[in-house]
Chain A
Amino acid sequence: NAGVTQTPKFQVLKTGQSMTLQCAQDMNHEYMSWYRQDPGMGLRLIHYSVGAGITDQGEVPNGYNVSRSTTEDFPLRLLSAAPSQTSVYFCASSPGAGRGYTFGSGTRLTVV
């Protein structure tokens, strides 16, 4: 099993550009989430999903969109990149409540 796979690993965007961060898991996990990690702020929840077709906002959803059309994939879309979105993004998945999350290796995004 590959676990949680994030692509790309690194990305540089210009302000105003849009892009999609990809996340795929092969463990048949129902729950998936997106986080951003910034120094001194820990991991902040952007959006999460408890199953295909179900998504909800986390702590910092503005400027990001998600959809969950399949159990395996949970892409994160940046609509119009801003320098404040420079961060490391982590995707995670879990088989269910209380069972812990498996994290991807992250995407380092720089917006110039």
Chain B
Amino acid sequence: AQSVTQLDSQVPVFEEAPVELRCNYSSSVSVYLFWYVQYPNQGLQLLLKYLSGSTLVESINGFEAEFNKSQTSFHLRKPSVHISDTAEYFCAGEYNQGGKLIFGQGTELSVKP
């Protein structure tokens, strides 16, 4: 069965420190990978996605994720976090050639001053 696993439920970091949020996915012939962000009491927003090609993908606000097929991982990184990055982050995989989007359990990123 398709599955996505986020290895950390909570990640506390200090402002301006680097952070990595870990995600593993179940391998499939066809899978697209995403990271979404949810700010408190809001819906989900797409942060970045991997479809094919370059294994490193970037978002407009400094996050990046690296697709690693051999390790079936899609970890999210940021070299220097801000207080405003405090949110819950979800990794997701789209299977069955589209339509079936499966989420991980979520990681709460808490950035402290």
Which positions in A face B, CB cutoff 8 Å?
31, 33, 35, 40-45, 48-50, 56, 58-59, 90, 92, 94, 96-98, 100-101, 103-106
B97 neighbours in A (Cβ, 8 Å) = 97
B9 neighbours in A (Cβ, 8 Å) = 40
The size bracket of the interface on B is: 20 to 34
Contact indicator B104/A97 (Cβ below 8 Å):
no
Q: A40-B9, A42-B105, A100-B34 are in contact. Are A90 and B99 (CB under 8 A)?
A: no
Contact indicator B49/A98 (Cβ below 8 Å):
yes
Contact indicator B99/A35 (Cβ below 8 Å):
no
Contact indicator A103/B44 (Cβ below 8 Å):
yes
Q: A42-B90, A43-B103, A44-B103 are in contact. Are A97 and B98 (CB under 8 A)?
A: yes
For the complex, give the distance between the alpha carbons of A48 and B6 in Å: 23
A40 neighbours in B (Cβ, 8 Å) = 9, 105-106
Q: With CB as the reference atom, state the residue of chain A lying closest to B52.
A: A98
5 contacts between A and B (CB under 8 A): A35-B103, A97-B97, A97-B98, A103-B43, A105-B42
B103 neighbours in A (Cβ, 8 Å) = 35, 42-45
A106 neighbours in B (Cβ, 8 Å) = 43
For the complex, give the distance between the alpha carbons of A45 and B43 in Å: 15
Q: Could you tell me which residues of chain B, from 24 to 73, have a CB within 8 Å of some CB in chain A?
A: 32, 34, 42-46, 49, 51
| Contact among B43, B45, B94, B106 for A97, CB-based, below 8 A | B94
Contact indicator A56/B49 (Cβ below 8 Å):
no
For the complex, give the distance between the alpha carbons of A104 and B101 in Å: 15
A35 neighbours in B (Cβ, 8 Å) = 103
Contact indicator B102/A59 (Cβ below 8 Å):
yes
Contact indicator B94/A105 (Cβ below 8 Å):
no
B100 neighbours in A (Cβ, 8 Å) = 45, 48, 56, 58
Contact indicator A105/B49 (Cβ below 8 Å):
no
Contact indicator B98/A101 (Cβ below 8 Å):
no
Contact indicator B99/A101 (Cβ below 8 Å):
no
| Contact among B6, B46, B90, B99 for A50, CB-based, below 8 A | B99
